[in-house]
Structure formats: structure tokens, C-alpha cells
Amino acid sequence: MFKKVLIANRGEIAVRVIRACKELGIQTVAVHSEADAGALHVRFADQAVCIGPAQASKSYLHIPAIISAAEITAADAIHPGYGFLSENAEFARVVESCGITFIGPSADAMRLWGDKIRAREAAERFGLPLLPGSKALRDVEHAEAEAERVGFPVMMKARGGGGGRGMRIVRGVDQVRRAFESATAEAMQAFGNPEMYLERFVERPRHIEFQALADKHGQVWTLGERECSLQRKNQKLVEESPSPAMTDELRAKMGEVIRRAILETGYTTLGTLEFLMDDGNLYFMEMNTRVQVEHPVTEMTTGIDLVVQQIRAAAGEKLEIPDTRPWKFRGHAIECRIMAEDPATFAPWPGKITEYHPPGGAGVRIDSGVFGGFTVPSNYDSLLGKVIVHASTREQALKRMQRALDEFIIGGIRTNISLHKELLALPEVMNATMTTRTVENFMAARAKK
């Protein structure tokens, strides 16, 4: 097992990894920008190193600074968290070349699954269902021709993308040029890769993802699925597990196909395969080669600490987890992402938190990176933390989440807590018929009032 792990991230996920390391008896190193000098992850870690100014490109995205911090603190492993460099294959390669273990898949596996086009090709080989789509688009004219072939509407997507960036819905050939140019520019800025491809757009799908875990001894588990349909502009707001739309038969079928794909590509540690569901059919979208923001709902319904297992797998340990096919869930879990933003306009709302009282009680978990008196910086994602609840049924979990949100007090800044309370009370959420358009439709209806 590792002696010391450096966490190349910030906020709630850095705190989450520190907690897992402490339970494994591993010392931790926090890296931070100048803006995060007083952050919670800096306080909780055994050591802390400032790696640059507030600008992410000069700190959390600056590979030489992170490697230097690992070397001067004698860290023998680096955990990338999510976001920032977590899916950067070059970062994984550099880490390994410096004799440090990257807590994630190999650089080669990351290149395969992190490249959306190559991932589609691999998915097709392993029998994962796909929506009609294209290969890499050479230019606007090629995009127009491929869009006509695939059939409108289409979704233009960034080859190296994620998190909803570099994506545009195109409903006619007259919209292709503008979408191509704006999406390309956004993808270049966000990922350093401007390449795009097309995929048939489904108007009202559900968003369902499967959690996979693999060690270096040929063992692979699919730990059920999560429903992530409540989202805005492809950014998830609420997640739950299991999905109320999934059947045992489909869960078992997809689990076996995913296990084969993971095994044959030599993938290890955590990975999440994302799908769209349309009329009960699943279509592969992409794989995220890291721990997900929403991993706690799987932890709550399986009883497995995913981050601890991720660290153990990276260290080469043979994991001891029951091989249940399909996975049998323990009750129902729901997660709400609490953001520092205006609940009506979604505008970020940085500033000082003057009052902080998180909810508690049976079946309530808070994963957060903030505290009373902390100043939320304007330089990073507005995620403050997550409220996760667990109950024996979905109905009880919904009621428990409403109660938890009622108790959550954050003063001094605006948050989206009130939005979550409204969304969870929608009839289509209560009766589990929500789609990826639910939030958009709700916001449009509210704007008309």
C-alpha cells in the first residue's frame, strides 16, 4: 500500500480522497492555489504545497508544479479526483514516468476510452449499442455532409470533451456552421483539442450510467447504475441509484457486456460508462475514466467505499468484493449537487459564507469542501458540496432529501438549494418519468409566470 498520496485537486473531492486515505493509514499531501490557502482540504491534509496563483492553468492544471510538489513531499502516488487533469492521459503518462503511481487507469486505457470517437469504435466491437454518428469532422463542409447522412437533429460533440462542454444541438443544415465554429472554439479552450464528431440527437431520453470497478488481477465488477436525467445544459443536478427505469434483465445484460469491454481493454480502477435511454433501449455515449461526482449514491446502495477500492486497485491489491450479477441494491439513494449560484439564472455567486449549518439525521450524508467563514473563490467550478440521502424506498428517499434540504443553511451567498426542492416536487420526478428535458421545461414554464 502507498505511504503518501498527493491529491491533485481541490474542494469536496479532495476532502473525500483525504478521508479515504486516512482510513487506509496513508499520509496525504494537498496542493492548492493562492486562492485556496485556507481551504478545507488544505486543513485536513498532513502536508500542503502551494502550486501557483488562482488561475487554474497556472496551478491545478500546471503539470510541472504538481509533479514538483509530489517529488518534494516524497509522495508515491497521485490521485487526480475529477475535473482538472483527471482524464488527461499525458498527465497520467508523466506521473508514471516519474516513478509515481497514478491512481486511475493506465495512460493507454485513458487514451482509448477518453477519446470519444475511439471509445465509440471500441464500444461497437464489444457489442455496446450506439446511436448513429460520425467519425472525426474535418471541416464545416464535412460536418454538413455527415449531419445530412446521420439525419437531423444531431448533437455536435467534442472528441476530447466532457462535462457538457463543446456540445451543440443542430436541427438543420443552416445551423451547422455556427455550431461547428462555436463548439470547436469551446472545445479548444476547455480541452486543448478542437476535433468534433456528430451523433443522432434524442429529444427526450433518460441519462443512465453504469459504475465499473476493476483490479489488476483480472477481476471486474459492475456495481449497478445511476440515473442522472435531471440536468441543465448537460450538467447534472440530481442523481439517484438504482434507476427507476431499469429492469433486472437489462441490468444483467448490460453488466456482462461492460465487464467484457473492461477486461479486454485492460482497464483498471474506477470507470463509468454513460448511456442514453430511449423507449427502454440503451445507447452508449462515453466513458469517464475517473471517479464521478455522483459516486456516493452507489456507495450508499452497495455498501462499498469506491474511493478506498480505487486506491487499493491502483496499489495492485486483489480486491475482495462479492461477485454478484446483477448487483443487488440496498434501498435507494439520491444526491443533490449544491452550487454557489443564483437558483433562477444559474449565475455563479462567489463570496464569503457567513453561516453554515449542514443537515444531519438518519440516512443523510454531506460531502462538502466549505465551512462557515470560507470565501468561495470565483476562479473555479461553483460546486460547494453534495447532499446524499439513503432510505429503503425511492419514495422515502425523496421525502428524506426534502427534509435535508430544508435543514441546510448557507448564509452570505446564493445557492441552488431552493431549486432542488422545487425539482424534487415535480410530478414527473415523483412518479419517475423524468427525462433530460425535465429541468429545461420546468425553467421555461417558471419564466412565463
In single-letter form, the type of residue at position 273 comes to: L
CA dist 174 and 443 (Å) reads 27
In single-letter form, the type of residue at position 326 comes to: P
Return the sign of the alpha-carbon dihedral for residues 179, 138, 205, 272: negative
Give the pLDDT score at 448: 85
* Contact (CB, 8 A) for 265 and 109: yes
Closest CA to 335 of 361, 311, 366, 310: 366
Cβ-based neighbours of 253, under 8 Å, separated by 6 or more: none
Grid coordinates 496542493 are at which residue? 31
Give the pLDDT score at 163: 66
Q: Which three cell numbers stand for residue 127?
A: 457489442
* Contact (CB, 8 A) for 169 and 155: yes
What is the chain's length? 449
Question: Given 16, 159, 168, 290, which residue is catalytic?
Answer: 290
In single-letter form, the type of residue at position 343 comes to: P
Rounded to two decimals, what is the model's pTM? 0.93
CA dist 368 and 44 (Å) reads 12
Cβ-based neighbours of 126, under 8 Å, separated by 6 or more: 257, 260, 261, 264
Closest CA to 225 of 154, 152, 172, 301: 301
* Contact (CB, 8 A) for 9 and 80: yes
* Contact (CB, 8 A) for 3 and 80: no
Give the pLDDT score at 164: 74
3-state secondary structure the chain: CCCEEEECCCHHHHHHHHHHHHHCCCEEEEEEEHHHCCCHHHHHCCEEEEEECCCHHHCCCCHHHHHHHHHHCCCCEEECCCCCCCCCHHHHHHHHHCCCEECCCCHHHHHHHHCHHHHHHHHHHCCCCECCECCCCCCHHHHHHHHHHHCCCEEEEECCCCCCCCCEEECCHHHHHHHHHHHHHHHHHHHCCCCEEEEECCCCCEEEEEEEEECCCCCEEEEEEEEEEEEECCEEEEEEECCCCCCHHHHHHHHHHHHHHHHHCCCCEEEEEEEEEECCEEEEEEEECCCCCCHHHHHHHHCCCHHHHHHHHHCCCCCCCCCCCCCCCCCEEEEEEEECECCCCCCECCEECCEEECCCCCCEEEEECCCCCCEECCCCCCEEEEEEEEECCHHHHHHHHHHHHHHCEEECCCCCHHHHHHHHCCHHHHCCCCCCCHHHHHHHHHHHC
Count of C-beta atoms within a 10 Å radius of residue 100: 20
Would you call 290 a catalytic residue per the annotation? yes
**Which phi-psi region, left, alpha or beta, contains residue 127 (left: φ > 0; alpha: ψ -120 to 50)?**
left
What strands, in cross-sheet order, belong to the sheet with 196-200? 168-170, 154-158, 196-200
Domains and CATH numbers, the chain: 4-103 (3.40.50.20), 132-200 (3.30.1490.20), 206-448 (3.30.470.20)
pLDDT per residue as tens, the chain (449 positions): 999 999 999 999 999 999 999 999 999 999 999 999 999 999 999 999 999 999 999 999 999 999 999 999 999 999 999 999 999 999 999 999 999 999 999 999 999 998 888 899 999 999 999 999 999 999 999 999 999 999 999 999 998 776 678 899 999 999 999 999 999 999 888 777 899 999 999 999 999 999 999 999 999 999 999 999 999 988 999 999 999 999 999 999 999 999 999 999 999 999 999 999 999 999 999 999 999 999 999 999 999 999 999 999 999 999 999 888 777 899 999 999 999 999 999 999 999 999 999 999 999 999 999 999 999 999 999 999 999 999 999 999 999 999 999 999 999 999 999 999 999 999 999 999 999 999 999 999 998 87
